[in-house]
Amino acid sequence: MSLNLSHMRRNSAHTSLDNAIAEEQRFLDQAIERRDQLAEHLRAELDTEISDALERARHRMLRRQHEELLRAQDGLVFGRLDALDGTVRHVGRIGIQAEDQGDEPLLLDWRAPAARPFYTATAIDPQGLARRRHIRTTGSVVAGVDDEPLDGAAASAEDDAAPSELVGEGALLAALDQRRTGRMSTAISTLQREQDDIIRAEATGPLIVQGGPGTGKTVVALHRVAYLLFTHRQMADQAVLVLGPSPRFLEYIAQVLPALGETAVVAATCDTLLPGVEVGRDESREIAEIKGRALWQPALEKHVASLLPRARDLKLRWEGEFYVIPAATVAQALASAVPGRAYHRARLIFTEQIHSLLAEAVAEQRAALLEEMEHGYEDILARFDRGAKPGVAHASSSDVDGLLSEEEIDELRERIAENEPIARFIESWWPTRDAGQTLRDLLSDPALLADFAPALSPEEITTATAVVPEAWSSSDIPLLDAVADLLGSVDAGVKQGEFIADQARGRRDWVYGHVVVDEAQELSEMQWQMVLRRCPSRSITAVGDIDQAEAAHRHTTWAQAVRAAFGERWTAAELTICYRTPREVMELTGPVLEKAGSHNAPPRAVRSSGIEPWQRTVTLGEVAALAQEMQGRWTGGTVGVVAPVARVAALRGVLGDVPVLTATQAKGLEWDATLLVDAEGIAAEPRGWNGLYVALTRCTQELGQLILV
């Protein structure tokens, strides 16, 4: 009887699951059909002719909506919320409007406030829900469902186990166990509560998010971009800047935001923020640390200010005559043009004032000459009048009026502005300047640098000025950016493009609606200044792990890292749960963090791979065979090798297509399995214990450590 009862229960469970899958398949079919209808309607709208600027703006909006619908292919529907009152809502990648305008949306956008309980409701805090359902799809087919009762109905009276801290645990762990492809995917169906809290946090000031390896820092950062662009539509008019640590990292995350329907995004590294400027040389960590300090900002401001001209008499020639603009007048023009403006902007305003002053001087001199002529003419008339016969008319002085009208003075000013000799004179007195040469002038003059940066020691000044850069290093870029900003653009023209992101990408002085910084612990104080220039509103989200910092600066806490940029005006948040790295690997990190001088507890791993980390002593030639074995075990996934800088070239020579990276290059990446070669060599590098912490935590399943002999 008990066997039959067990069999009946299994059959009932299978039937219930089949029914649930069939139910969700019907809804998915309906959502796909409605999505396609909306896309076709928008396509027809876009085929209409554009007659004016208003129509162009409307077409841009419709095009964004159309592209969003087209991108919403995989995972269109991934969740369902069953409320205690019987209301059922489905949650998906995008919102889809029902055919009846008065109805609720057919599909809730995951970013909508009504969808938030999908990420935050728990059995302890069900938020009015009876059940949450995770829906797994493959293309247009429902592959499975996972139900989470939230009303306590499924809890056994004898079950006193603590509730899981994970939302949608089954779906989450299934996603974490999937093979890695070398590209990041979206995680909108498995976001956890502490991640969602950060994604939906206010964007009114700097938010600094500390998160150890595998806590989903990058997932949070990118989904926060999508959430903010959805919630604050005006941000799309300014674009959002995403700063990553390396081009490889940007390639890794490249498809996430487009998959979420967002295109008003510019992705870059600090090295690529200046249009047309590339890093062309390496520099020592010592020099990089010196050049990364905040003291360079006031030093560069003083340097550029010293290049401004001083007031003196300006002697200008116009149509064969010399005119002098007195020093006092020049000083007044400088005082109105310079304060609060970039060098070239102030120069432009001052030049316009000189054109006006010269035009006025020409008009005044002409008036004076005419007055002299008129006095002489009146003497002649007086003598003529005394000898004239009665009744004979004569000319009056009022008939002679050679004064320039306002329109004539404006025309004169325009002619002066187009005069090349005057332009050359102003250029010689107040020259236009190149940012690169201006910076090189400072970096090649120890005495000048000592004057403008007194906080640097004589030894540091000698180090910083030892090489005059022809090609730029990574640590030069923030200094060059600061000089370019202080000088300003010579060309006031604005580069246009069809999309906001294209316009923003081509302009150094673009002001973004929001900036997201990933691996933010690596930024120097001068790189933070680059961020602030692009987002003066300080609407910034920075995610990172201060314990993984490998940059040349000496910061070991977030307060030290951001004090120069934000002072005390920033908000801290923390991600505490490690989803990626298995418990077996995280257990190795405690001693490494201690040696790195960490002030933080490592994140708590919530999953186990069942594979203990292993270690072998091998020759260089044997590494390839081990890598092949590992690739065989993780077919369809990825394997990566992390090694000290000194070992990378040799390993790449024997490993072929297996990626071999330094700890710095591996930051932010993940593989199914990692081969860690020569851990002691990594630990011996500058900030090597931090690097080793990075190297240990790249895998989702298996870690092998190799000692080379």
Residue type, 98: A
Question: What is the mean predicted confidence (pLDDT) over 504-527?
Answer: 93
- DSSP 8-state assignment for residue 383: H
Angle at the Cα of 229 (from 223 to 232), degrees rounded to 5?
A: 130
| Contacts for 675 with CB less than 8 Å, ≥ 6 apart | 623, 626, 627, 630, 639, 640, 641, 642, 704, 705, 706
Out of 113-122, 182-191, 267-276, 600-609, least confident range? 182-191
Establish whether 214 is an annotated binding residue.
yes
> Tens of pLDDT along 27-59?
999 999 999 999 998 888 888 777 677 777 777
What are the C-alpha distances in Å from 439 to residues 295, 296, 303? 15, 11, 9
pTM reported for the whole predicted model: 0.78
pLDDT at residue 179 tops 70: no
pLDDT of residue 158: 37
Structural domain includes residue 663? yes
Confidence class for position 254, pLDDT limits 50, 70, 90: confident
pLDDT of residue 165: 56
**Region of 320 on the Ramachandran plot (φ > 0 left; ψ -120 to 50 alpha; else beta):** left
Establish whether 213 is an annotated binding residue.
yes
Confidence class for position 505, pLDDT limits 50, 70, 90: confident
Check: CB of residue 76 under 8 Å from CB of residue 137: yes
pLDDT at residue 386 tops 60: no
Question: What is the mean predicted confidence (pLDDT) over 685-703?
Answer: 94
pLDDT at residue 176 tops 70: no
Average confidence score pLDDT of the chain? 85
Tokens 């403006």, located at residue: 341
Confidence class for position 358, pLDDT limits 50, 70, 90: very high
pLDDT of residue 394: 45
Confidence class for position 400, pLDDT limits 50, 70, 90: very low
Orientation angle between helical segments 525-534 and 558-566, nearest 10 degrees? 50
Start-to-end Cα distance in the chain: 65
Where does residue 405 rank: exposed (0-12), middle (13-18), buried (19+ CB within 10 A)?
exposed
Establish whether 635 is an annotated binding residue.
no
Gap between the Cα atoms of 413 and 325, Å rounded: 15
**Region of 284 on the Ramachandran plot (φ > 0 left; ψ -120 to 50 alpha; else beta):** beta
- Is residue 154 classed as helix, strand or coil in its secondary structure? coil
> Tens of pLDDT along 76-90?
898 999 999 999 999
- 163-194: b or e for each residue (b if 16 or more CB lie within 10 Å)? eeebbbbbbbeebbeeebeeebbbbbbbbbbb
Establish whether 636 is an annotated binding residue.
no
Q: Backbone phi, then psi, for 125, in 5-degree steps?
A: -130, 75
pLDDT at residue 12 tops 80: no
Structural domain includes residue 395? no
> Higher pLDDT residue, 510 or 1?
510
Out of 214-218, 469-473, 644-648, 671-675, least confident range? 214-218
CA 600 to the chain's CA centroid: 26
Sign of CA dihedral 613, 618, 620, 621: negative
Structural domain includes residue 116? yes
What are the C-alpha distances in Å from 679 to residues 340, 399, 587, 691? 52, 98, 16, 10
Final residue before a domain boundary, out of 94, 120, 154: 154
pLDDT of residue 597: 86
pLDDT at residue 437 tops 70: yes
Final residue before a domain boundary, out of 88, 121, 154: 154
Range of the domain at 624: 583-708
Question: What is the mean predicted confidence (pLDDT) over 313-321?
Answer: 92
Question: What is the mean predicted confidence (pLDDT) over 326-353?
Answer: 96
> Higher pLDDT residue, 596 or 252?
596
CA 85 to the chain's CA centroid: 43
| Contacts for 228 with CB less than 8 Å, ≥ 6 apart | 203, 235, 240, 513, 514
pLDDT at residue 333 tops 90: yes
DSSP class per residue in 440-461:
HHHHT-HHHHHHH-TTS-HHHH
pLDDT at residue 159 tops 60: no
Establish whether 640 is an annotated binding residue.
no
Structural domain includes residue 355? no
| Contacts for 488 with CB less than 8 Å, ≥ 6 apart | 341, 342, 343, 344, 345, 509
Check: CB of residue 172 under 8 Å from CB of residue 192: yes
| Contacts for 66 with CB less than 8 Å, ≥ 6 apart | 39, 42, 43, 46
Gap between the Cα atoms of 221 and 250, Å rounded: 13
Give the tokens for residue 454.
Answer: 């007194």
Structural domain includes residue 650? yes
Residue type, 387: G
Establish whether 212 is an annotated binding residue.
yes
Radius of gyration of the chain (CA): 35
Structural domain includes residue 26? yes
Question: What is the mean predicted confidence (pLDDT) over 574-600?
Answer: 91
pLDDT of residue 45: 83
Nearest to 705 by CA among 674, 681, 682: 674
- DSSP 8-state assignment for residue 165: S
Structural domain includes residue 77? yes
With a pLDDT cut of 90, the percent of the chain lying above it is 55
Gap between the Cα atoms of 617 and 615, Å rounded: 7
DSSP class per residue in 267-316:
EE-GGG-STT--B-----HHHHHHHTSTTHHHHHHHHHHTTSPPP--EEE
pLDDT at residue 305 tops 90: yes
pLDDT at residue 639 tops 50: yes
Final residue before a domain boundary, out of 120, 154, 188: 154
Give the tokens for residue 664.
Answer: 């710095």
Check: CB of residue 272 under 8 Å from CB of residue 248: no
What are the C-alpha distances in Å from 541 to residues 188, 204, 505? 19, 10, 19
Gap between the Cα atoms of 341 and 343, Å rounded: 6
| Contacts for 469 with CB less than 8 Å, ≥ 6 apart | 281, 440, 443, 476
Calculate the dihedral angle through the C-alpha atoms of 26, 27, 29, 30, rounding to the nearest 10 degrees.
120
> Higher pLDDT residue, 643 or 1?
643
Structural domain includes residue 420? no
pLDDT of residue 586: 94
Establish whether 105 is an annotated binding residue.
no
Q: Residue 206, CB half-sphere, CA atoms under 13 Å: how many? A: 24
CATH of the domain at 618: 3.40.50.300
Nearest to 113 by CA among 134, 91, 132: 91
Question: What is the mean predicted confidence (pLDDT) over 106-118?
Answer: 90
Establish whether 653 is an annotated binding residue.
no
Q: Domain total for the chain?
A: 2
pLDDT of residue 185: 47
> Higher pLDDT residue, 389 or 507?
507
> Higher pLDDT residue, 317 or 100?
317
Q: Count CB-CB contacts under 10 A for residue 59.
A: 15
The sheet that has 514-518: what strands, in order across it?
Answer: 265-268, 240-243, 514-518, 540-544, 207-211, 571-575
> Tens of pLDDT along 674-693?
999 999 999 999 989 999 99
pLDDT of residue 243: 93
Q: Backbone phi, then psi, for 183, in 5-degree steps?
A: -130, 140
pLDDT at residue 388 tops 50: no
Question: What is the mean predicted confidence (pLDDT) over 399-408?
Answer: 68
Confidence class for position 157, pLDDT limits 50, 70, 90: very low
Confidence class for position 550, pLDDT limits 50, 70, 90: confident
Tokens 């040696």, located at residue: 595
pLDDT of residue 74: 76
Give the tokens for residue 365.
Answer: 């001199």
Q: Give the H/E segment covering residue 592.
A: helix 589-595
With a pLDDT cut of 70, the percent of the chain lying above it is 85
DSSP class per residue in 32-101:
HHHHHHHHHHHHHHHTSPP-SHHHHHHHHHHHHHHHHHHH--TTSEEEEEEETTS-EEEEESS-B--SST
